[in-house]
Amino acid sequence: MRILICEDSVLLRAGLVRLLEDAGHEITAALPDATALDDTVEATAPDLCILDVRLPPTFTDEGIRAALRLRRAHPVLPVLVLSQYVEERYATELITGEGGAIGYLLKDRVADVTDFLAAIERIGQGATVLDPEVVAQLLSRRPRDDRMQRLSDREASVLSLIAEGKSNQAIAAALFVSEGSVEKYITTIFQKLDLEQDESGNRRVLATLVHLEYGGDRPQTGA
């Protein structure tokens, strides 16, 4: 994959370049801020962009605003926000808005390089990958709606794990059930959320949007 990095920390930027190149990816650019981001994306046409939330000059929300701008200008471009913070002002808009694949991972919670590289691969292939803490913080501030009330506790747990970008196999492992049971839960979730099969067949993303927009329960792993 051809990847563009926008990260102000010199050490982290260099570390990401080395890590991704060693994993077989090509780095099209490694930028210290978002000043030249739009022009660089146009010039290099990356397959994925990785951005920090807080970038110079104010170190507040430049990165996430740049991510929103990229998603409007390049709707199919996958974007991974990699940050120490959940920027709630823009995070919901970034995740639920129209655009390509999206990821939001917290730096301090990335504990395994293999998992991080796998997350990048999934985002590049079109998946939504969200840190559970990001999901929890966003959901704590969202109202519920009728559709979410239809779900059982176990179905809500499955939907939360879907929202984190987990595969059926990973959900089964987290909840200590079979993959067949997970498939049945997901089918029921789609039915209860009134999600008809669309042309792309991507009802998991639609379910995630409902989950993030209207609220739900945190994953009850081990329940």
* Residues ≥6 apart with Cβ < 8 Å to 157: 175, 217, 219, 220, 221, 223
Q: According to the CATH classification, is domain 2-140 in 3.40.50.2300?
A: yes
Digit-by-digit pLDDT tens for the chain (223 residues) are 999 999 999 999 999 999 999 999 999 999 999 999 999 999 999 999 999 988 988 888 888 899 999 988 998 999 999 988 787 777 777 877 777 788 999 988 887 899 999 999 999 988 888 887 887 776 665 555 567 778 888 998 898 888 777 889 999 999 999 999 999 999 998 888 887 665 444 577 667 767 766 654 433 333 3
Domains 2-140 and 146-215 are alike in CATH topology: no
Q: Which CATH number fits domain 146-215: 3.30.300.30, 1.10.8.100, 1.10.10.10, 1.20.120.530?
A: 1.10.10.10
pLDDT in tens, 101-137: 889 999 888 878 999 999 999 999 888 888 878 877 7
**Please, which residues bridge with residue 4 across strands?**
29, 49
The CA distance from 59 to 8, in Å, is: 9
pTM: predicted TM-score of the whole model, two decimal places:
0.67
pLDDT in tens, 76-106: 999 999 988 787 777 777 877 777 788 999 9
Helices (H), 76-167: 88-96, 113-124, 132-139, 146-149, 153-163
Q: Which residue has the tokens 């981001």?
A: 37
- All structural domains of the chain with their residue ranges: 2-140, 146-215
